[in-house]
Amino acid sequence: MKKAFRFYLIAWAILFVIFNVVVIALPKETTIAGVTYVKLGGLSWITLILFELCFVGHLVCTWIALKRNKLSGMFYRLPLIRLSYACIIVTTVIGCVMMAVPQMPDWIPLIVVLIIMALYAVAVLKAAAAAQIVEQIDEKVKVQTAFIRDLTVDASTLMTRAKSEPVKNACKKVYEAVRYSDPMTSGALHDVESRIRTEFDAFTDAVLSDNADAVNASMGELLSLITERNRTCKANK
């Protein structure tokens, strides 16, 4: 996050300086063919302040998008970050043109900057809402697949702790049964999943004690419960 924001901050600073050099550092009065043209007169100062606020808004928006600690959170907010990059470039280009042209009517750049701010605000809200919805769905899926995911990890670990060949084969069968089970869970599966977890604990004890008879007996019960869970899961879809 810090590295990504650092790159954005460099780009933001360059464009911010370019904008202000064009608008402020260049002469306020320019004489062409004996006619004096004046920049930033009257209401144009209000427009300049609004353009500066646009820059600040881009920076704040990107910082919020990049402050996500989780990689998935940042991924879902990539459209928001790309949008900020695009808008800051548009703001710089249009701002330089609008504010650098002498004797331009004050209302033109004012209307332009208000349109930019409005379009950017709407786009940011839409991108942020979409990212939030996707994140909520992702979190929901993680919760609904936690049982099988955790059980798969436990079964995989148990295979490495098996000692004799028959016990290793039993562990492999349980692992494959769990691995290829439907990952989604629901309220209707709580009872059978509770029994699976209890039986898996008994299976683990049998494996660690290298008791082949107990392992086979527990394996048969465990595979039966996993099959029951998969049938129930399928029936509830």
Query: Using CA atoms, how far apart are residues 236 and 9, in angstroms rounded to an integer?
Result: 51
Q: Are 19 and 95 in contact (CB under 8 A)?
A: yes
> Do 65 and 14 share a domain, yes or no?
yes
> Do 17 and 126 share a domain, yes or no?
yes
Whether residue 231 has pLDDT greater than 80: yes
61/221: higher pLDDT: 221
Q: What is the pLDDT of residues 156-188, one digit of tens each?
A: 999 888 888 889 999 999 999 998 888 877 777
**pLDDT at residue 224, as a whole number:** 92
Q: What percent of the chain has pLDDT over 70?
A: 72
> Do 31 and 96 share a domain, yes or no?
yes
> Do 157 and 116 share a domain, yes or no?
no
Cα angle 139, 144, 146; round to 5: 90
Work out how many domains the chain is built from and give that number. 2
Q: Are 152 and 175 in contact (CB under 8 A)?
A: yes
Domain hosting 74: range is: 2-138
> Do 166 and 127 share a domain, yes or no?
no
Report the run of H or E that residue 74 belongs to, with start and end.
Answer: helix 71-76
Residue whose structure tokens are 């208000």: 114
